[in-house]
Amino acid sequence: MLDRLSLRIRILLFFGLLAVGTLAAIGAGLWIAARRAGAEGLHPEAVQGALIAGFLALGLIVWVWFLFDANVARAIERLSAAIRARVHAGIEHDLAAEAQAARYLGDLAPAAEAITRSLVQTRNALAESVARETTRLAAEKSRLETLLADVPVAVLLCTADHQLVFYNGQAVDILGEGSAPGLARNLLDYLREGPIRHAYDRLAGAGDPDMASDLLCATVSGGRLLAGRMRVLRRREEGVPPGYVLTLRDVTADITAHTRRDALLTEVFDRVRRPAANLQTVIGVLSEIEGDSDAPDLSAAMLDEVGALTRAITELGARYDAVQSEWRPLVNTRSADLMDGLKGRLQAEGMVLDTDGPELILQVDGFEIAAFWTWLAGRLAAEGLSRAFRLVLIEEDGPGAAMRLEWDGAPLSVGRLDGWLTEPLGRDTGELTAQAVLKTHGTECWPEPRPGHCAVVMPIRSARRAGRRPPPLARAVVYDFDLLSKA
């Protein structure tokens, strides 16, 4: 209870108790003297002396209390209030007045003045340091914003819910079809969600912030085709999905140009191969009809020339087939990640998929391949052929591999499959058809009926054995903007 009282009240109570004790001691002395005096009683002079002594003692106690209250209690309270004001209110002037009032407290006042002076100096130094660092960070932020604004690719930072929290000027040009992007808006309002969700789910499930996923996506309107790379951020809290960084590059013009070149080269070889083969056949027949007596040297020479032409066309066609997909934005994809994603997508649609095969690195567009097999399984299920499938990856001799989607049930004819290939793969892929996926990867597919089951086979042009995951590339940003001011 006494702890709640102020220092002055406690000192007053102390001296009050001392005064009461002094008066009680004087009264007790008179009482003892009266008992010993007996019937004669105390002399009036003794009583008067005791009263005078009591008043003098009481006056002395009051005087000493006043000195303590004025020079100790009040000085301590004033000094503590001044220190508290300098700590919380930021007052900077010294404690000269408080130190003068507390001159009877020994070294307490100088020590308090030294502490507050050091506190003020430290606070001022900290404020100057914070202001200096704030100015420096603001300048570096401005420089980084300038650099990111000039980066030739779109850079976007998104939350796990695909909300935009950062984007640069290139992103405005790429995404701003109809409506400009804005902070806190959903990225999927501008890009088709299939490739974005597929890449994010795979990276977030892996839990490795050093992994990156290359993807190919289109704007919602379908007017632009974008090649991008996604990388998730490090998790700050367990159980909270991380955000991600997405870089995008417009490859619409590149793909259009290469598509035109492909179409031209395809037409050239299609129009040359058949006449060359027909010419070789006609000359061979002509040589047989004319016999050896009718200019055998000319026929042989013509046959040799046509054979050379045919071999050249065949060789050029083979070389064209080998390099026709080198320009395309195909990336290295782990077969385990691809097949695991396929299994999840089919299970989400109520189908069963078992996977088997070695772990390979496939050079494919993971989203398109996953969309192709998901579409094909759904098509087979819709036709009532099966709802349980088995995806087998076969490593072939050489640089390629093959993927087989097997099921137990009725076989699928070649004509029926060819008719399906012109259909769109689904709403997540827009107008992308199965035939376009095969053309992108420079491959084809066909059914293979076998006793008791059937399969659809798709060759993969480039595949290799998957080794241990390579160490992450150093991707730290190195800069020192202070060098600009020293130049």
Interval 274-331: pLDDT, tens: 667 767 776 666 666 655 555 445 566 666 667 777 777 777 666 666 655 555 556 7
The whole-number pLDDT of residue 323 equals: 57
In a shared domain, residues 57 and 179: no
In a shared domain, residues 385 and 440: yes
Strands 225-232 and 360-364, how do they pair?
unpaired
In a shared domain, residues 354 and 445: yes
| Per-residue pLDDT tens over the stretch 261-290 | 666 676 677 767 766 776 777 666 666 665
In a shared domain, residues 28 and 6: yes
Of 305, 323, 341, which residue is a domain's last? 323
In a shared domain, residues 290 and 404: no
- Please indicate, yes or no, if residue 344 is contained in any of the structural domains: yes
- Please indicate, yes or no, if residue 141 is contained in any of the structural domains: no
Helix axes of 108-150 and 74-88: crossing angle, nearest 10 degrees: 10
The SS3 call for residue 215 is: strand
Number of domains in the chain: 4
State the Cα angle at 382 between 380 and 385, rounded to 5°. 45
Gap between the Cα atoms of 453 and 409, Å rounded: 6
- Please indicate, yes or no, if residue 475 is contained in any of the structural domains: no
Rg (CA), the chain: 47
- Closest Cα to residue 214, out of 197, 237, 234, 231? 231
Of 83, 105, 122, which residue is a domain's last? 122
Range of the domain at 184: 151-251
In a shared domain, residues 114 and 26: yes
Find residue 131's DSSP bridge partners: none
Yes or no: say if 389 and 352 are a contact pair by the CB < 8 Å rule.
yes
pTM score above 0.75: no
- Please indicate, yes or no, if residue 35 is contained in any of the structural domains: yes
In a shared domain, residues 247 and 156: yes
Read off the amino acid at residue 362: L
Yes or no: say if 457 and 404 are a contact pair by the CB < 8 Å rule.
yes
Gap between the Cα atoms of 442 and 400, Å rounded: 12
Of 204, 231, 251, which residue is a domain's last? 251
| Per-residue pLDDT tens over the stretch 44-87 | 777 788 888 888 989 999 999 998 888 888 888 887 877 777 77
**Token couple for 234:** 């490090």
Gap between the Cα atoms of 175 and 133, Å rounded: 35
The SS3 call for residue 428 is: helix
- Closest Cα to residue 256, out of 228, 219, 224? 224
In a shared domain, residues 247 and 262: no
In a shared domain, residues 23 and 101: yes
In a shared domain, residues 365 and 392: yes
- Please indicate, yes or no, if residue 185 is contained in any of the structural domains: yes
In a shared domain, residues 162 and 218: yes
CA separation, residue 161 to residues 226, 231, 477 (Å): 21, 15, 27
Report the CATH number at residue 202.
3.30.450.20
In a shared domain, residues 180 and 279: no
